[in-house]
Amino acid sequence: MLMTAVALTFAGLTYAAPPAWHTRPPASSMRVAEFVIPKAQGDPEDAELVIYYFGAGGVGSADANINRWIGQVQQPDRSDSKTKAKRAERTVNGLKVTTLDVSGTYTAEMSPGATDHYNKPGYRVCAAVVETPQGAYYLKMTGPAKTVAAAQGDYEKLLSSLKFN
């Protein structure tokens, strides 16, 4: 049986969620949606994709957010993650989308402002800043590198489906 993506809308942004990704209730009011991405065979845990929206003011420029996300990933050889990160800009249905793809040890704060940090080697972060007339949306997929790689096609389809009404 062929499963189709589910169209979802929040504050004017419409996107098609992959049917294999499971929704869960957003953990905070800053989160528009959260998805659990089933782990690939051999990976220890699932990945996740979170969509954030802070309103017209946002939380900084695309560059500031991309740089913050890069800073959440350390390289095993201690080299600068900026040199390993892949950043790109494109237009999707009239929306400017800035993307990031970086792998390494995931060390983000466990919650905003927390002193505890993750220590997840072998992780990958694929993120995007989507600029709309009502402010930016921030998409961040994190998880074991193999699982994120397996979800890459669905992630790209989600990005390609972005529309603002």
142 assigned to some structural domain: yes
For tokens 């998409």, the residue is 139
What is the domain count for the chain?
A: 1
53 assigned to some structural domain: yes
Residue type, 119: N
Structural domain range at position 90: 6-164
Query: What percent of the chain is predicted at pLDDT more than 70?
Result: 93
| Helix or strand (DSSP H, E) at 9 | strand 6-10
Instruction: Give the domain CATH number at 157.
Output: 3.40.1000.10
37 assigned to some structural domain: yes
The 10s digit of each residue's pLDDT in 93-147 is 999 999 999 999 999 988 877 889 999 999 999 999 999 998 899 999 999 999 9
1 assigned to some structural domain: no
The 10s digit of each residue's pLDDT in 33-58 is 999 999 999 999 999 999 999 887 76
149 assigned to some structural domain: yes
Give the number of other CB atoms < 10 A from CB of residue 58. 18
Q: What is the pTM of this model?
A: 0.91
